Structure 1
């Protein structure tokens, strides 16, 4: 047993396995594979949902029955550039941002409820 630092460092270096010459390339390949995986599993589906929602918002028109993200059901009575006015009851009209529209319902759904 030796208590000298130089001998201990030499023993540690001698017992360590030698690094592969392709280790740097393998690390870059794994990092690239991780990015590709993240793109196809997270980024691409989110962009697809954003495009679908944007097309839904662009297609809104007067008389459409919609569900808002808050859960409110109503019929659109006025469409503005950024806002929609929704008739929730006989004398209740509310103004929401277009982006808060969750889904467009088939005609007659509100009467059936």
Structure 2
């Protein structure tokens, strides 16, 4: 009788390991992978910023890129008013939303 219980409990440990592996896989598919993809898109967007692009900063400031330096950009927010920002402060999502209505109106 004890032998049967010992075998049943060892099989249960294997199933717990499989279930844990399944949960890790689901967590990776639904949380980690999409976040990595979004970060990759953000890096690509920042690397491809060029003079004349219309963007929005993470602080909500809208403007046009006047100059691009190593890690910074100069943003023209009004005629003659320019502000220097880190490239990382440019928001991909907000810039897409900001640029979409303008492109559709043209």
- Could you say which TM-score interval applies, normalised by the shorter chain? 0.7 to 0.9
Q: Which runs of 5+ in 1 are unaligned?
A: 1-17
| Other-structure match for 1:3 | none
1:73 aligns with 2:73: no
Give TM-score, length-normalised by structure 1.
0.73
Equivalent residues, number:
92
Higher Cα Rg, which structure? 1
SS in 2 for 1:43: helix
Task: Render the CA deviation track for 1:37-70: whole Å, top value 9, x for unaligned.
Answer: 1100000000010111111111100111111111
Q: Which 4+ runs in 1 deviate beyond 6 A?
A: none
Give TM-score, length-normalised by structure 2.
0.77
* Paired residues for 1:93-108 under 5 Å: 93-102=82-91, 103=95, 106=99
| Other-structure match for 1:49 | 38
Deviation at 1:91, TM superposition (A): 2.6
